[in-house]
Amino acid sequence: MSDGAITAPQPSWLAPLVSVTTQLGVPTVFAGVLLWFVLFKVGGALEEIEQHEIERTRIMLSMQETFVVAVQQQGEMSAKLYARLEQCKGVSP
């Protein structure tokens, strides 16, 4: 500093950042930070999607079980109705 400018001491967290930026260059450091941010966000989004899919699967299984029971009941009722209709055919003159 031959021009007589006085510089303030750097905070401890800034020294490694300045060192990496000086060695790799601003575009590389910026790209690295962006990549880290995107990957972190994508990881969080994938976990959220996975949780939603698990919940959706539970709901679909519940709906499927309810539907199967309803179809079975309807089939039993139809069989009873068919049997009664056959009885009525046999009784009528």
Beta-carbon contacts of 47 under 8 Å, excluding residues fewer than 6 positions away, are none
Residue 1's pLDDT is 47
Distance in angstroms (rounded) separating the CA atoms of residues 29 and 27: 6
Higher pLDDT, 2 or 49: 49
Q: Which residue has the higher pLDDT, 88 or 58?
A: 58
Q: Which pLDDT tens digit goes with each residue over 24-66?
A: 888 888 898 899 888 888 888 889 999 999 999 999 999 999 9
Q: Are 55 and 47 in contact (CB under 8 A)?
A: no
Per-domain boundaries in the chain = 15-91
**Is a pLDDT exceeding 80 seen at residue 91?**
no
Quickly state the pLDDT bin for 88 (edges 50, 70, 90). Answer: confident
pLDDT for 42: 85
Q: Give alpha helix (H) positions in the chain.
A: 14-24, 26-91
d(CA 56, CA 50): 10
- The C-alpha atoms of residue 41 and residue 52 are separated, in whole angstroms, by 17
DSSP state of 7: -
pLDDT digits (tens, 9 = 90+) for 65-87: 999 999 999 999 999 999 998 88
